[in-house]
A and B are shown apart, each in its own frame.
Chain A
Amino acid sequence: MKESTVKKVLILGSGALKIGEAGEFDYSGTQALKALREEGISTVLINPNIATVQTSEGVADKIYFLPVTPSFVEKVIEKERPQGILLSFGGQTALNCGVELFRSGALERYGVKVLGTPVQTIIDTEDRELFVQRLDEIGVHTIRSHAASSREEAKAAAAELGYPVIVRAAYALGGLGSGFCDNEAELETVTAKAFTFSSQVLIEKSLKGWKEIEYEIVRDSYDNCIAVCNMENFDPLGIHTGESIVVAPSQTLTNSEYHFLRKTSIDIVRHLGIVGECNVQYAFSPDGEDYRVIEVNARLSRSSALASKATGYPLAFIAAKLSLGYGLFELKNAVTKDTPAFFEPALDYVVCKIPRWDLAKFKEVSRELGSSMKSVGEVMAIGRCFEEAIQKGLRMIGQGANGFVCNKPYKVEDLDYALRNPDDTRIFAIAAAFESGYDVERIHRLTNIDRWFIDRLENIEKTYRAMEACNSLQDVSKELMLKAKREGFSDIQISRVFHIPEGEVRDFRHSLGLRPCIKQIDTLAAEFPSVTNYLYLTYNGDCSDISPKEGAVIVLGSGAYRIGSSVEFDWCGVNAAATVRKSGRQAVIINYNPETVSTDYDACDRLYFDELSFESVSEICEVEKPMGVIVSVGGQIPNNLALPLSQAGIPLLGTSADSIDKAEDREKFSSIVDKTGIDQPRWSSLRNYDEVEKFVAEVGFPVLVRPSYVLSGAAMNVCYSKDHLREFLERAVEVSEEHPVVISSFMQRCKELECDAVADGGKILACAISEHIEFAGVHSGDATIQFPAQSTYGVTAAKIRRTAAAIAAELQITGPFNIQFLAGDDSLKVIECNLRASRSFPFVSKVLKLNFIELATKAMLGEHPKGGHIDPFELEYVGVKSSQFSFARLGKADPVLGVDMTSTGEVACLGDSLDEALLKSMLSVGHRIPKKSVLISSGDALQKADLLPACKRLAANGFKIYATGGSWRYMQDNGVPAERAYWPDEDAGDSPAALDLIKDHKVELVINIPKDFSEGELGNGYKVRRAAVDFNVPLITNSRLADAYIRAFCKFGEAELAIKPWDSYC
């Protein structure tokens, strides 16, 4: 190892989860911190994402919940004086921030050394022109492209290259601001947007239809290089790699192709001088050995996280060690623990990554896939043939698919169009094509997907047909049954063929003796013995690699990140497993999300990287014979398994399945609430429209409509009128036929309060009450939350505690739970109760410095822990949690908040006052404090009144206020100086037009409060909101939040915000 004088290192995190930058950076950052700690190096972490594992106690020495922006990072550097900084573990956010600090001279000023890949190399890979130049030096082909700094330059370049072209914004994560253009008009639109994200755009010849291949390369400071993994996109070039199904290793490359690209990658990495990890993306022509390098990511990435999980090679951990000067040959293979880290993993399985989209949650959004990323999460499925892996994966994404076949009918008007223009359902369009009699060749021509993949999908279709040809399940031969299982058919899927219950298929399968094998992922394809605990299930095998010790505790993970369930549940799972291990028992995790820390094989004693289905979990339990299964720390997926697992005789730890069912079932829960004497909004469970009409006539509009068993408010909506209700209901009923629709009175202008708690045997051990800044009506996952509650009366808090205690006792809760309340002027109503950990568990645990999951897990293990004795109301500081939205990536989506959750991530910051914490928190999700001018449209009369003090405050602080029609008049009447801005549909020629103010960046903040949440709000308001998103001007759509934010930034400048680590708040 080369000498290192570094004793203290600063690591930059990636902030809130957003589209294009998600949980993978919690995983890479956590690994890096672990690698540094092992070396006795003191670590400082800046990351406002409070729900992450990396921001937990004991992972880094100092944690700052602050925005990852140059000014805040510089202040932390000034305070902490680290000798080194790591930029490549926090995604594009950290990389960009680091480059800016380098350019401003801040790093040099404080003598901070960038460890690992030098900054100049980062700049070489990020600046497209420099990048092409550097690769030209070694004769490596890049996509012929022209940098343009103006729209005119862009047009000229496109004309020279010939359409179609692709536009890319430099320094943008996940292809933000990128797009394909078939003609000049399209180019105009795309470049206008791209220039708002970057001062430079790249115009390139489009290579649609080429294969997309990636290599993950590692290089040490001795110039030793390895290619840890290669991956092939199922979808051809043209679909962002984050939007594509990806397989590892590549399936259609010959030896010479594979090794040509491998060698080229290594040449590139050597030439650029990467030290650590790097990703090289290729376009590879399917009809020859021609190629282009698409891009090089000189940092850990989503692909590197996937590659780590796909191979068992801990890329981030190794990259962190290499940045300290280690050689690869000096480090050990973490799996074999014997052979060195200098090797290339050999796989004896295939993995399939499938993105998870949540586009149905967004109004108006375009569902077509392209060069910009829209997916919010991903899954990785492991099998010993492609069919097995992809069918598992399609179930794992959790959107109702049973696999490739046996799904709900795929409805599409023009199948050829759907195949040619992929959207988030493209794989099911292929299934539909087979059903319609298309052959492999025809599907290939329409989709450009390699025939090999389509052939394999056809195998699944054929097996389905063979089963369908049998009269009954009993007629299915053992051979056919085995073939189906080997091709990844689930019991449910087979049950759909014969219209029988899943249980019959399971019994039949067991009667044939068909059980899955457990295989290890060992990095060397069994060449060397290893004691790896990284496992998966497969039917393509004769025998299992392991026979586990009985009596472990199984923790069920949270599955794919999606809107409503993400890194917070990973934190819960990791902490539950750690607590189990501390108790002296073995911890087993089942999860399949490659972006997580819980799927890091040292988070537990055994990791099953497999489905969270009844079938898989019960097969694993059959082998594991666990002491019990924890279903309450992974969100709704494991929660829904509680009842079937328990009915199958599998022991659950904590609250009984019966109680969980009582809380989930609205009728059962309602009667419990009545019994405890607490109020709830009027509601009714209804099965037809006549019943609905009758009920609504009683309670009046607006009403909240929702199906049972939901997590994030999918298909939940507030309806303001009869027409609206009828129209929505027609859609909602289709979503859940077997469940009745629940309609409740929607209470406006109420405060929403949450109680996160832990109980043992029905007695509360700890309880945290937090308060939403927005009024009820904004989904709790989108709301801005303050903890401890800052404006809740002691009486109300006491009432909440009493209610929680009563519910805990009634349901005999052991473990985590969460209750949501509405507080009106003189009323308190329960709206929801979940007998599992909630989204805010890491937030309240970290603010309170009491680990609720540790406490809950101890209770579930039967250790009867002592409760926490901290009174949140005595804390001398405040935590504020803000939501991160990714509307910029979701073209055309209306960025408005409602009862359905739309945020993709969150942050939380601490402050000595609410204002300070709120301001830090807002800055952490991308807000920038306005200096001069604000555009305001303040909604209905009540909201206008709500906002008036804030408007006055703005005026008093010298801000120029632009206001649209009604808001402008209201301000005139109330003596607030404002200039009128015109709506898009107001007379042309009147200026300033609201849209121009946004496009020309004449306003630095847009406050646009929709009057109500009805469909009619489209039009003017929508155009303004969308423009703010598209032109990257911060937007607030809620009057309560706008008021709080304005108050905060009028009181504090950025310079006055305290730079204090987590442990200084006490």
Chain B
Amino acid sequence: MNKAVLELENGLSLEGMSFGYDGPCSGELVFSTAMVGYPESLTDPSYEGQILCVSYPIVGNYGIPAMTRDEWGVCLGFESEKIHVRGLVISDYSGKFSHFDAVKSLGQWLREEKIPAICGIDTRHLTQLLRDNGTLSARILPASVGVPSERVPLRSTTPGKVGPLEGTPSLSGGNLASVVSCRKPILYGKGGKRVVLVDCGVKHQILHCLLQRGIEVLRVPWNTDVNTIDADGIMISNGPGDPSACVPAIENIRKAMEGDRPIFGICLGNQIMSLAAGATTYKMKYGHRSHNQPVRLCGTDRCFITSQNHGYAVDTATLGEDWEPYFVNLNDGTSEGIRHRSKPFFSAQFHPEASSGPTDTEFLFDDFISAL
């Protein structure tokens, strides 16, 4: 392994070893406290534009399985066809893996997909830093890129913006759903009720959860006007970036809310629904990225452990009169979903489809389907 450096917007520079693609990358550095599920996380389109720091120190143990698809052509074990994180930061890399299902190491996969990764980093320290300072811009520079003095400074005059770095793609922020959404409609399954799925960067497990329940799914680009599409219900997927930048999607959903077709949003979908319902969203200091987020079903004593991956949240106080909080986060009181008081519209900020993470809230798909 070659040496590599992780540089942060605040000037901190941490040395480690490169175990992925031997090239540079930059992005918004976020942390996740999940202890399993790296193939799922790395391919989650919601991580588009971000460098992921994994708090749990040992990563790569069970390698990477072969890319396989189910009967409907949906990825198994991965959340999309490719890695979406810009880079990966861990502490202890398991170069040797052990699993009957694995065909390659995590490092090999990262190299194939040209994703830089660094190990030997004190990820607990980094997590504390991100927690206290909020999300930071960062870049991974392998030793082969050159000596530090020749590099463009990372710190820039605009907060949240990083100076250009030769050879790396442009940075996160704004409308990233448009980057990761499908380009044209795709139809999955046949017969039964039909759901139109607004793809803002959909995780394949969401497709699974619908298809397994005998639903026909029409996956459409993020800005498709769902009101013109014949379907029994509307789903808005998860995805990366700032929800308020997804203006066409918000407008389309606002229109759909005038009708009675059931609407179900997940993660970014929840934020788009909230914006369509007149509420506002804000960027969180460091977001929720973990498998252990506790939520409570409002007005009940029922609580669930959920999988989460988001950096923006809905301001519940700005919800209109027709709406009410559906779920609330027990750790910090943030909104975890909303629902309409009379119509079959509801959403979750967490991931009921899990993958990776706990599956306790998968019943929301059943609730949605029974409303169709």
Contacts and interface: CB of A to CB of B under 8 A. Distances in A.
- Most B CB within 10 A of own CB, among A225, A254, A517: A254
Interface string B107-150: 00000000000000011110110011000000000000000000
Interface string A528-539: 110000000000
B153 to A, nearest CB: 22
A259 B131 CA distance: 27
A662 B305 CA distance: 59
B294 A451 contact: no
Contacts of A543: 122, 125
A250 to B, nearest CB: 8
B356 A252 contact: no
B358 A259 contact: yes
B303 interface: yes
A328 interface: yes
B57 interface: yes
B77 A329 contact: no
A470 interface: no
Interface string B76-94: 0100000000000001101
Contacts of B122: 517, 540-543
A911 B292 CA distance: 52
Contacts of B291: 344, 346
A255 B39 CA distance: 9
B33 A525 contact: yes
Given A251-B61, A452-B61, A525-B56, A346 B354 contact: no
Contacts of A841: none
A253 B37 CA distance: 9
Given A329-B296, A329-B330, A541 B61 contact: no
Given A288-B100, A346-B56, A348-B123, A252 B358 contact: no
Contacts of A528: 131, 331
B127 A525 contact: yes
Contacts of B184: none
Contacts of A452: 61-62, 94, 96-98
B290 A527 contact: yes
Contacts of B294: 329, 339-340, 342-343
Interface string B43-62: 00000000000011110011
B258 interface: no
Given A252-B62, A541-B125, A542-B14, A350 B57 contact: yes
B354 A327 contact: no
Nearest to A385: B92
Nearest to B121: A542
A286 B304 CA distance: 30
Given A344-B291, A540-B57, A222 B305 contact: no
Nearest to A450: B98
A259 B359 contact: yes
B92 A384 contact: yes
* Listed residue (B56, B291, B303) with the most chain A CB atoms within 10 angstroms of its CB: B303
Nearest to A343: B294
Contacts of A288: 100
B131 A329 contact: no
A529 B355 CA distance: 27
B33 A527 contact: yes
Contacts, number: 168
A813 B128 CA distance: 47
A342 B303 contact: yes
A346 B124 CA distance: 12
A545 B355 CA distance: 32
B36 interface: yes
A451 B40 CA distance: 23
Contact of A451 (B36, B98, B101, B360): B98
Contacts of A249: 35-36, 56
A526 B128 contact: yes
Given A343-B330, A527-B127, A541-B122, A259 B357 contact: yes
B282 to A, nearest CB: 19
Interface in A616-643: none
A47 to B, nearest CB: 35
Contacts of B360: 225, 263, 266
A253 B290 contact: no
A987 interface: no
A40 B218 CA distance: 59
Nearest to B286: A527
The A contact surface, by secondary structure, is loop
A693 interface: no
Contacts of A962: none
Interface in A984-1034: none
Interface string B276-298: 00000000000000111110100
A262 interface: yes
A287 interface: yes
Given A288-B100, A346-B291, A224 B303 contact: yes
Contacts of B99: 252, 254
Nearest to B57: A384
Dominant secondary structure at the B interface:
loop
Interface residues of A, number: 57
B97 to A, nearest CB: 7
A519 interface: yes
Contacts of A223: 302
Given A329-B330, A343-B331, A452-B96, A524 B36 contact: no
Given A251-B61, A253-B62, A347 B35 contact: yes
A1065 interface: no
A224 B302 CA distance: 6
A525 B58 contact: no
Contact of B55 (A259, A329, A525): A525
B36 A255 contact: yes
A349 interface: yes
B364 interface: no
B58 A350 contact: yes
B292 A344 contact: yes
Contacts of B35: 249, 346-347
A543 B127 CA distance: 13
A238 interface: no
A222 to B, nearest CB: 4
Given A254-B101, A527-B33, A259 B354 contact: yes
B359 A226 contact: no
A261 B291 CA distance: 15
A389 B34 CA distance: 20
A815 B98 CA distance: 53
A339 B331 contact: yes
B57 A348 contact: yes
A399 interface: no
Interface string A250-288: 111111101100110010000000000000000000111
B255 to A, nearest CB: 37
Contacts of A253: 36, 62
A542 to B, nearest CB: 4
B36 to A, nearest CB: 5
A287 B100 contact: yes
A130 B206 CA distance: 38
A762 B331 CA distance: 55
Given A327-B301, A342-B303, A342-B330, A540 B92 contact: yes
Contacts of B354: 259
Interface of B: 14, 31, 33-37, 39-40, 55-58, 61-62, 65, 77, 91-92, 94, 96-101, 122-125, 127-128, 131-132, 290-294, 296, 301-305, 330-331, 354-360
10 contacts: A255-B356, A258-B36, A259-B36, A259-B358, A327-B301, A329-B330, A349-B57, A350-B57, A452-B98, A524-B292
3 shortest A-B CB distances, which residue pairs?
Answer: A255-B37, A452-B98, A346-B33
Given A528-B331, A529-B132, 4 more contacts: A259-B358, A342-B305, A527-B33, A527-B127
Interface of A: 222-227, 249-256, 258-259, 262-263, 266, 286-288, 327-329, 339-340, 342-350, 384-386, 440, 450-452, 455, 517, 519, 524-529, 540-543, 545
